[in-house]
């Protein structure tokens, strides 16, 4: 069966510090991968998606970037965090088409 791992679960970072969140999927190959952000009391906003190694598409301009160095690894990064980057970050994967399966999320607080 397929599983998705996302870490860390919580993170407190100072403004201006770098960020690296990692997500890995097991039990499948060539998945579509996604990063979402959920601000407090709001729905999910798609940040990035990837259909293959090194192929990243950004949905919204922002202070973040994503990379996919391996087939089942998806990384969300920032060089310098802003207060507005605080939120709940969710990684997800999907087979070709239909539903997505989510990781447990990372609660990021920028102070």
Which single residue is written with the structure tokens 């990372």?
106
Is 23 or 81 the residue whose CB approaches another protein more closely? 23
Using CB under 8 A, list all residues that contact another protein. Answer: 6, 32, 34, 42-44, 46, 49-51, 55, 57, 88, 90, 92, 94, 96-105, 107
**Contact status, residue 23 vs residue 66, Cβ threshold 8 Å:** no
Full strand arrangement of the beta sheet holding 3-7: 3-7, 19-26, 73-78, 65-70
We find the least distance from the C-beta atom of residue 97 to another protein, in angstroms, to be 6
Is 18 or 55 the residue whose CB approaches another protein more closely? 55
Please state, in angstroms and rounded to a whole number, the distance separating the CA atoms of residues 77 and 108.
Answer: 12
We find the least distance from the C-beta atom of residue 88 to another protein, in angstroms, to be 8
Q: How does strand 87-94 pair with strand 55-58? A: unpaired
Is 12 or 15 the residue whose CB approaches another protein more closely? 12
């Amino acid at each position: 069966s397929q599983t998705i791992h996302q870490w860390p679960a919580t993170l407190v970072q100072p403004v201006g510090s770098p960020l690296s969140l990692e997500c890995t999927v097991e039990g499948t190959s060539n998945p579509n991968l996604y990063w979402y952000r959920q601000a407090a009391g709001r729905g999910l906003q798609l940040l990035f998606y990837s259909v293959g190694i090194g192929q990243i598409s950004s949905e919204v301009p922002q202070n973040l970037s994503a990379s996919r160095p391996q087939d089942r690894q998806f990384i969300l990064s920032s060089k310098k965090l802003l207060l507005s980057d605080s939120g709940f970050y969710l990684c997800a994967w999907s087979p070709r088409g239909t539903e997505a399966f989510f990781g447990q999320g990372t609660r990021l607080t920028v102070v």
